[in-house]
Each structure stands twice: as structure tokens, then as C-alpha cells.
């Protein structure tokens, strides 16, 4: 039996302020840095060994990986970054405080955008400075790959090539993999692994989720390493 460890980044500045972060490249708070180091210590106490680590292109995830490996206290595994692991793009909600978004669009409408599988938030206009087309890091990507606002279904489609080409072949070889990213995308990877019957769930910041895998990459179990700081699992 092999395993996959999913780690949502530590508390970010936008988490602290109650803002929709999406693809906005915000850093960790001091608390988030402490959380990320502690996540590494939790993995060390659990005796987890890692062969490879994947991370998104966003600063809060990359910094969390760096600090978690410090906390792990051993030479880190090889690392690879993928833009496909970036958080769900929140469209017109990017950077807004939740109260501001509720006042502008309506609380029920905003919650539908957040939770409905098919309904995306309003997309950003191409000229909006928040659009990823204005970020030089994404200049090499095809314009059709750049999201301006995503539904949960669109996030799953974005993740599918990463799952098929990068992650699942390594897990099938028995490699032990850490993925450091963001709540929606980590849920998406779990759903791609487990199938469409897996319901939506949310992950706490920087609490490693150990995904145990059986033959044929069947889902054998989900367990947070810190049982005192969890959100419900399916």
C-alpha cells in the first residue's frame, strides 16, 4: 500500500482578512508559517517518507512546502511545480472580502458560486489587471488555458491532465507523494482518485491529509495527521 499526502497551505494574508484569494499571489501570515512547519513535524512523527513533492505556482503554497520540509527535518524529496495545482480562479470575486462580495452579488448567489459543481462566478474581463494574462509567469501558457473564473467542474477539467500524466503514474509505481496546494484543487485531486461519488469537503490550513491507497489506486482511507484540528471528511 502506498500513500499520498495532501497539504493545504498555511494561513494566508487573505485567509486572515476573509478575502477570496484564488490566483492572487498572497503570502503566508506568521501563523501560517508556524502551521506549515508544524505540518512537517506531524509528517515526521507519523514516520512518513516521501519520494516526490508537487506544488502550485502560488507563493503561499511554495512557502508552505519549504517550511513543511524544514519541519520534516530530513533532506527534502525532488520537487516539481505545476500551474494546474493553482487554486480555483474566483473570477470577479478575486481579492474581495466575503462581506463585500455578499453585498455586491447577494450572499446566496455567492454561496451557490462557491458550492455548485457547474456554476462559475462572473469571469474577469480581459483588461482587468487581476486577469492572469497580465502576469508574466503565465506568458507561456495558451490563452485558452488561462481561467478568468472557474466552476468546480472546470477545476476538475484543469486538474485532469496533471492527474493522468504526473500524479497517478507515480502513485501506480508505488512512489510516496506530497502535494502542497489549495483547498479546492486538493479536493479535486481526491475526487479524481475516488470518483464522482466523493462529496465536496473542505480542508483546514496546513493539516496533512494522509490518503491511503490500495491496489489499482483504490481509496483505502483518509486521515488528518492532527486529529484535534480537522474539518469533516466524507
Which residues carry out catalysis?
Answer: 9, 87
* Cβ neighbours for 2, distance < 8 A, ≥ 6 positions apart: 171, 174, 175, 176, 213
> Quick one: cell of 214?
490500495
Radius of gyration of the chain (CA): 17
Between the alpha carbon of residue 42 and those of residues 11, 36, 39, the distances in Å are 17, 10, 5
Q: Which of 8, 14, 57 is nearest to 35 (CA)?
A: 8
What is the spatial distance between Cα 185 and Cα 112, in angstroms, rounded to a whole number?
A: 18
> Quick one: cell of 161?
491532465
Q: Which of 197, 164, 163 is nearest to 6 (CA)?
A: 163
> Quick one: cell of 230?
480537522
Strands (E), the chain: 2-8, 52-55, 79-81, 177-181, 209-213, 219-224
Q: Which of 154, 131, 127, 100 is nearest to 24 (CA)?
A: 131
Amino acid at each position: 500500500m502506498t500513500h499520498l499526502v495532501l497539504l493545504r497551505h498555511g494561513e494566508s494574508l487573505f485567509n486572515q482578512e476573509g478575502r477570496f484569494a484564488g490566483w492572487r499571489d498572497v503570502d503566508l501570515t506568521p501563523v501560517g508559517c508556524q502551521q506549515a512547519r508544524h505540518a512537517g513535524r506531524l509528517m515526521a512523527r507519523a514516520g512518513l517518507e516521501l519520494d516526490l513533492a508537487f506544488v502550485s505556482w502560488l507563493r503561499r503554497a511554495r512557502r508552505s512546502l519549504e517550511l513543511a520540509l524544514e519541519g520534516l527535518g530530513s533532506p527534502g524529496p525532488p520537487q516539481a511545480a505545476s500551474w494546474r495545482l493553482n487554486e480555483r480562479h474566483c473570477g470577479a470575486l478575486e481579492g474581495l472580502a466575503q462581506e463585500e462580495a455578499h453585498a455586491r452579488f447577494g450572499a446566496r448567489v455567492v454561496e451557490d458560486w462557491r458550492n455548485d459543481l457547474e456554476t462559475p462566478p462572473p469571469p474577469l474581463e480581459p483588461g482587468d489587471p487581476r486577469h492572469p494574462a497580465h502576469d508574466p509567469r503565465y506568458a507561456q501558457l495558451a490563452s485558452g488555458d488561462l481561467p478568468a473564473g472557474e466552476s468546480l467542474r472546470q477545476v476538475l477539467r484543469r486538474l485532469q491532465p496533471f492527474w493522468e500524466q504526473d500524479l497517478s503514474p507515480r502513485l501506480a509505481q508505488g512512489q510516496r507523494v506530497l502535494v502542497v496546494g489549495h483547498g479546492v484543487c486538493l479536493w479535486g485531486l481526491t475526487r479524481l482518485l475516488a470518483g464522482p461519488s466523493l462529496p465536496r469537503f473542505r480542508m483546514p490550513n496546513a493539516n496533512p491529509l494522509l490518503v491511503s491507497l490500495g491496489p489499482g489506486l483504490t481509496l483505502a482511507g483518509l486521515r488528518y495527521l492532527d486529529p484535534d484540528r480537522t474539518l469533516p471528511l466524507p
